[in-house]
Amino acid sequence: MLRTRRTVAGVMAVALTAALAACGAAPEPVTTSPRPTQSATPGPAFEPGDGVLTIGTLFPTTGAQAFISPAQRAGVDLAIGEINKAGGVLGQPVVAVHADSGEAKTKKAESSYASLVKKGADVIIGPSSSVLAERILPLAIRDRVPLISPAATAPRLSGLADAGMLFRTVPSAALQGSVLARLASGDEQIRLAVVYFDDDTGRATLATATATVAELGGRLVSSQKVTSATKKVDGLVAAVKASKPDAVILATPFSAMTQNKAIIAGLTKAGLGHERLWFISANLADYSQALPAGMLLGARGVIPGAEPNKAFRDRVKAAGKNVKDYRYSAEAYDATMLAALAAIVAGNDNSEAVAASLVDVSAGGIKCVGLAECLDVLHTQSDIDYDGVSGPVNLSQEGDPSPAHYGLYKYDKANKFARVDRVVGN
């Protein structure tokens, strides 16, 4: 039976509790005694694997998104190095095989996926792109190979029938609306306006923001749709101003830069910019060359994913080449650790056995922070709850992480943004 992931509507209905907190310490490199080689409690019967856990990666090493690949690959390589230092999985070293996903406009992802399967990949960390994750999923279902994406955030992925083969260690973009509504509300019952792009993320952000602001005693007073065909925004800005909101969420993609600049300028002129304006990750960008200096001063927004501490960043840097942007490195590292622990608990490196154990090792058992603690627990227990560099991952039955981790960013007078805090939501 195909596992049906919760629909976007289901995600929208879930209240997200946001809290600002200091970053927890990242797990340190593993120095532990050899870990058990099989699960204490046998799970469902699966054909035995070949005895070697092979982890493939499918990251964009070419194309426009290539800049996010080095940190993700280094996160995987770092995790595998630490796993092997601790004794490997089922008595054998974990093997890594890497491939380039390329861009969505090419078929590189499909050919690279095929090469990974041919090389015996039991688990694939990636793709980073939501579009490619959706495209590769039917192949993964056919081959019974789980995908764990550290960077695909599209809300629609939560609604796919995936046969238990799609997971992610980064939260759905749908949750940003709820996070932003809570941040904008503070302890007040506010009047909220949302300007959203007519796409998957924009619509989901509107829905979750609307539900959350109502839950907090406030209300949505205006929702204005933007499309790629939108040329003039004067009427949109006038409608938002007339609704007299306390805060405005701008839920548009970076690709709508022409519209974004006009909307930001219009809202600022209407007295609805600066501290009253909130961005989603898709449009939180460097506007230093696009807008007059100071226009975004005080405006804020969120980007999904944990901020690794310096100790972890140093380890990632040592494990990889050309690592300059550490985005999604923690999520890639944790995805790899979860795959290894799933194989250990299953007592089997078979792809389906690993997929079947992923949720169980991430939540509901004896909490253990990092690989060393989890391996120590597995000497006597089989039910663990792995917490990693990105925090408590806690995969849901639908394969999505909870709690959701976001960085809170704020703009300076140069219209550049910097991280100022961490937001955690359930």
Residues spanned by the domain of 327: 51-171+308-357
Give 96's strand partners: 55
Return per-residue pLDDT of the chain as tens, 426 residues.
Answer: 334 343 333 433 333 333 323 233 344 444 433 333 334 344 458 999 999 999 999 999 999 889 999 999 999 999 999 999 999 999 999 999 999 999 999 999 999 999 999 999 999 999 999 999 999 999 999 999 999 999 999 999 998 999 999 999 999 998 999 999 999 999 799 999 999 999 999 999 999 999 999 999 999 999 999 999 999 999 999 999 999 999 999 999 988 999 999 999 999 999 999 999 999 999 999 999 999 999 999 999 998 877 788 999 999 999 998 898 898 999 999 999 999 999 999 999 999 999 999 999 999 999 999 999 999 999 998 899 999 998 888 999 889 998 888 889 999 999 999 999 988 876
325, 342, 357 — which closes off a domain?
357
Query: What single letter denotes the amino acid at residue 15?
Result: A
Answer yes or no: is 26 within a domain: no
pLDDT digits (tens, 9 = 90+) for 11-38: 333 333 333 232 333 444 444 333 333 3
Query: pTM here?
Result: 0.82
Question: How many of the other CB atoms lie within 10 Å of CB of 318?
Answer: 12
Residues 313 and 183 placed together within one structural domain of the fold: no
Give the separation between CA 265 and CA 185, rounded to whole angstroms: 23
Residues 213 and 267 placed together within one structural domain of the fold: yes
Write the CA distances from 141 to 138, 166, 351, integer angstroms.
5, 9, 11
Residues 111 and 166 placed together within one structural domain of the fold: yes
Would strands 417-425 and 404-411 be described as parallel, antiparallel, or unpaired?
Answer: antiparallel
> What are the E-state strand segments in 9-154?
18-20, 54-59, 95-100, 123-125, 147-149
Residues 210 and 142 placed together within one structural domain of the fold: no
- Say if residues 198 and 250 touch (Cβ distance below 8 Å): no
Residues 6+ apart with CB under 8 A from 247: 184, 185, 190, 191, 192, 193, 276, 277, 278
The CATH number of whichever domain residue 338 belongs to comes to 3.40.50.2300
Number of domains in the chain: 2
Residues 338 and 296 placed together within one structural domain of the fold: no
Residues 300 and 317 placed together within one structural domain of the fold: no
